Amino acid sequence: MTFNKTLLTLSLTCSSFYSVGAAFQLAEHSAAGLGRAFAGEAAIADDASVIARNPALMAQFDQIELSFTGTYVIPDVSLTGIDAPTGINPVALNDSSIAPSAIIPAIYLVVPLNDKFALGFGTFSNFGLATEFDDDYAAGQLAGETSITTVNFNSSLSYKVNDNFAIAGGLNVIYADASLIRNFGDSPLPSPPETVAANLAGDDISYGWNLGLSYDFNENNRLGFSYRSEVELTLEGDYSNGLPANLGGLAGDVVMGTMDITLPAIMEFSGFHQLNSSLAVHYSAVWTGWSSFDELAGYAEGVEDPVFSKEENFADSMRYAIGATYQLSSNIKLRTGIAYDQTPTGEEHRSISIPDSNRIWISGGLNYSFDDQSSIDLGVSVIQGNSETFTEKDDLGQQWTFESQGDAYIVSAQYNHVF
């Protein structure tokens, strides 16, 4: 029974998604925001993507607006082996690229209903991405192929209380799909490294809510606040492994497996200040309630209690950003920004599946207006992460020590149309 629990633990360990934000958080909601390192997102009403960060800003719109965004993320995440169990060369742990590139699409629509109300719809993602290791990776029990995709379908309604103050609320339907494969790797057990120790795929649909506030001191100065609730997911799917029955495996049989994940709450405070006709500055402080992600619980069919409980003990994290916008000409607007992104993981809980660290964002971008109805945004960011050294223990008690380095490059393009 103990060995079966180990197999389920391997299959359901999903704390593991490299992302360009802290842990597995995604901030890439718009090209306009990317160009300023997402500084001022809860206070700037550039385009319809305000739905993702602060729907109260929909009160600034007097025409229907549609925005399409595509963001390409190029991670540069590497591992260097420092120490390994007896008989295994640490060099076998080296991997120069554990996170694949990804495209993150989004679409937004803002519809003003009258001079008081506006309705918005958005489809975007707040969490996701993946890590990939070779089938015969020596520490295969700690990481194999892991992916999670979340899609947020958000409907929001804003109300303009007066000329200065607006409020908004929204409902979110979140679809999550996760899959992972764990191979046995090098171990004392008589199984080849590429033996599938776990193969799990599951999905779920859950619900959340969000709210937003904005306050205009005058036409040149605005503050904004937004909050997005945490979301509890129970991913259900099929679990199997390739181990023979005499070793406690399933020999290819499939059973039901479930895993609980809590996506954390997000809160943002932003400011926007137009200093003169050409130059504006903006800033943000974003809190993410990662402390709700304190453990992972896995369940097997027919077993009432969790078959495993793994402590994660994430801490709440902060992200700070400051940026500037410069109106170069009547149809060209330039943007830049810098951000500091704090990791929620402590030294004792780092993992090769979450090679996370504190990060610095350096960003630039522009907006080009074709006419009064259509425009494009382009943005680019370079993200530099700290180098981290940590030790991780697998479910057979073997200890592995790594040095990780995680950087990323992001480019984004967006089309906006006013009707």
Give tens-digit pLDDT for 134-154. 888 888 888 788 778 899 999
- Tell me: pLDDT of 21 over 80: no
Query: What is the pLDDT at residue 5?
Result: 39
- Tell me: pLDDT of 350 over 80: no
Query: What is the pLDDT at residue 297?
Result: 63
- Tell me: pLDDT of 263 over 60: yes
Which neighbouring-strand residues pair with 374? Answer: 417
Mean pLDDT of 350-357: 74
- Mean pLDDT, all residues of the chain: 86
**Which range in 68-77, 104-113, 190-199, 246-255 is most confidently predicted, on average pLDDT?**
104-113
* 53 phi and psi angles, rounded to 5 deg: -115, -45
Query: What is the pLDDT at residue 310?
Result: 60
The structural domains of the chain, ordered by start, are 2-418 (2.40.160.60)
Query: What is the pLDDT at residue 375?
Result: 98
The pLDDT-based confidence of 180 (bands split at 50, 70, 90) is confident
Q: What is the 3-state secondary structure (H, E, C) of the chain?
A: CHHHHHHHHHHHCCCCCCCCCCCCECCCCCHHHHHCCCCCCCCCCCCCCHHHHCHHHHHHCCCCEEEEEEEEEEEEEEEEEEECCCCCCHHHHCECCCCCCEEEEEEEEEEECCCCEEEEEEEECCEEEEEECCCCCCCCCCCCEEEEEEEEEEEEEEEECCCCEEEEEEEEEEEEEEEEEEECCCCCCCCCCCCEEEEEEEEEEEEEEEEEEEEEEECCEEEEEEEECCEEEEEEEEEECCCCHHHCCCCCCCEEEEEEEEECCEEEEEEEEECCCCEEEEEEEEEECHHHCCEEEEEECCCCCCCEEEECCCCCEEEEEEEEEEECCCCEEEEEEEEEECCCCCHHHCECCECCCCEEEEEEEEEEECCCCEEEEEEEEEEEECEEEEEEECCCCCEEEEEEEEEEEEEEEEEEEEC
8 Å CB contact between 366 and 333: yes
- Tell me: pLDDT of 170 over 50: yes
Task: Name, in order, each residue with C-beta under 8 angstroms of 87's C-beta and a sequence gap of 6 or more.
Answer: none
Mean pLDDT of 304-318: 71
Which neighbouring-strand residues pair with 241? Answer: none
The pLDDT-based confidence of 221 (bands split at 50, 70, 90) is very high
- Of the listed ranges 4-13, 202-211, 219-228, 264-273, the one predicted with least confidence: 4-13
- Tell me: pLDDT of 258 over 70: yes
Query: What is the pLDDT at residue 303?
Result: 52
The pLDDT-based confidence of 238 (bands split at 50, 70, 90) is confident
Mean pLDDT of 73-98: 88
Residue 181 vs residue 411, higher pLDDT = 411
